[in-house]
Structure 1
Amino acid sequence: MYLKSYEALEPKDLMHLRTVLAEVCSEMKISIDDAQVQTIGHDLVGLWLSGFRSSEELKVMLKPLA
């Protein structure tokens, strides 16, 4: 099931995205408190709403944006 842009993410979805964000920050060697992380998080949510769900998909799709 794909989310519409006006639908809210469930807590489990947010936890998944938070885990992916932490992994991406670790791979990029940046602190979770870095200003760039807000942009990465925004991009992750956009990818999620576009239908990308797995950690691997999200990371691969995020690389060209980072």
Structure 2
Amino acid sequence: MDTSFLQDELGQIENEVVASERRLAELEALVAEKKRQRLDTENEETELHGMRARDFASRTDSAFSR
């Protein structure tokens, strides 16, 4: 059985996970820096909240689909 399609899909998913983790780390660092400078962090914290909510939802969905 040819599994190259599945391997390609898995590679794409892994790339997306890495990019999301990188963005999350960048946002967390930006929020920390802006807080040190006493600047507004509302936009970044809203984006972080959304990313965390989507991550939690996807983890919850996958846990129940087993």
- Where relative contact order (Cα < 8 A, 6+ residues apart) is larger, the structure is 1
> Given the two structures, how large is their TM-score scaled by the length of structure 2?
0.35
Identify, as 1 or 2, the structure richer in helix. Answer: 2
Instruction: Report which of the two structures shows the higher radius of gyration computed on alpha carbons.
Output: 2
